[in-house]
Amino acid sequence: MQKEWAGLCTGVFLLVSVVTSAQVGEQFRTLVINDKSGKVAVLQMGDKTYIDLKRLVQIADGSISYEGNRIILDVSCESALAPASTPETDQASSTLLSREFMKAAIEEISLMREWASTLANAIQNGYPISESSVADYRAQAQSGLAMASTSVSTDADHSGLQLLNSEFEHVQAWSNKLMEARKSMDTAKYAISPDTLRNDPVSQKIVSCGRFLAQMLVSGHFQDDPSCH
């Protein structure tokens, strides 16, 4: 059936007829073309059956045009022979992340992790850390976020970028909080117990979202998670 229909992709037709039993009269029948079906008017005259050419083209998802005394029928082979899409495949396609975005997003997660972990380690162990060094880490993460933004090419990428932006804001808020505590000499509580810093709500949110983003990027499909909001 597919080979026969492939020969009809582009051609000139003056009349379409189907040989049947000798009957006369008009009726409606179901025409099936490569699993695509529809009702079509049928006119039987003698030993031949004639069908509506325009209706045939509609069922086949093709097109018809007229040039002088010629009738041009054009049917795309790819459209006629391709399997029908399903809601599942459409949904999977709509959540697919582009390779460029995934690469940039992974780099951005790495930059944010370096920013957060370096600051946390310094605060927890009483190491000196300057405003300028923190600003450098923040600037690198901002640059990485900008690169991820320019790599967006799909709706899924755009949704993924929103989660990256949210994670960046969380890290920045946490960084500001720790630097303010450092200025007010209120960082001793973080040095006394490592759990104090680890159990900080913002810290936990950053870790949870970071893990989720890493898993999402590995899967190649956009997903959502409350920890990133």
Exposure letters 42-75 (e unless 16+ CB within 10 A, then b) = bebeeeebebebeebbbbbebeeeeeeeebebeb
Domain with 77 in it: 2-84
66 plus 113 within the same structural domain: no
77 plus 97 within the same structural domain: no
202 plus 97 within the same structural domain: yes
What is the predicted pLDDT for the residue at 181? 81
Model confidence at 144, pLDDT cuts 50, 70, 90, reads: very high
- Asked which of 39, 57, 84 is the last residue of a domain, the reply is 84
Q: Which residue has the higher pLDDT, 38 or 105?
A: 105
Number of independent structural domains in the chain = 2
97 plus 45 within the same structural domain: no
206 plus 112 within the same structural domain: yes
108 plus 219 within the same structural domain: yes
What is the predicted pLDDT for the residue at 79? 45
pLDDT tens digits, 97-133 = 999 999 999 999 999 999 999 998 888 888 888 999 9
pLDDT tens digits, 172-199 = 999 998 888 887 776 766 666 667 777 8
Say if pTM beats, i.e. exceeds, 0.85: no
26 plus 99 within the same structural domain: no
